[in-house]
Chain A
């Protein structure tokens, strides 16, 4: 009998975008910039997935405006993903988006052997529904607690406080940190943040190493890679100040 004669499996890594598609995203090219940033990040993400065959990177996306719905409902291997543009229009049902994601982070359908998921929340404004209820429902899921949660604020009208609540406890000390909302003021910076989240963070989450069960609250689950230096001061970084 050949050995091993059982089902061996690499570990799924679920990467979920939660995208603000409210009416304000139609202004100043923000929606186009987001679509472009995600589309352009896919080859890099696929390359990271190839370099880490022990992880199976599966992408999904939620859009939220008047309500929340799956833009990409089926967990799609990143190598096969073709991004369909999001469209803007409506208000900001961010809480409902979190509830939607909470549903798929239950076990099942989450697999026993899954790697900690990566959730990226992107918004330019304030939630118009019950954000607290949505966040509460999300964080009741153990897989949401284990997840790497990132947030990107597009422009200066985004509600940084709710984005921080989504990420988790604010890290001690000042300065830029991936555990604080990443503020993108223009298309270039947005694209760099999306690239970082979809490559460096996915790379880190793909090879989680066992660690002590004593990590401080603000340190998160996966040790996150540093932000590239060019992103540390986005306000006076490359590209015009747009948003």
Chain B
């Protein structure tokens, strides 16, 4: 696949979904402003650390990942039939098409997450950059997992979304609790374990998406 074809698919997909992306960004901005940031008064510093992380990460990880899931689902066949036909009739392997479509969804979700973080920053409660990277990794991984559901229909589509929801929960638990009560390495264990988990899940999901696009049956 040439870089030109990759850019063409990504830009065509993002252009076709520009309204959905704008809506997702607007939603992210609103939630970023109104997300509660308060942490109950806790005297134990270690418990306070966990509580702070759980509050800081809950909004961006759960909300932005949900946006990622929605943006992934709209990449599915049928919404823009002319793009589906154009892409599937091009001389591209399933894995190449998967990469391009995944990039469009991931870029859209990343944009919404950046808007969320910017809203938090403007409201004076921006999470530290390391937390944002952790949240973004979760958004990207869950978006890639959700793309696998787009090639299915009906109940199996809902079932295929379950791993995406599980990815968000596991990533959150790792990010918040992986180094709970460890004072030696700060947040390093939590951040590293969450990033490694998301990288593995995202890679496997992208491979699986390529396989399902290669086997995809347009006649249902």
Do A and B form a real pair? no
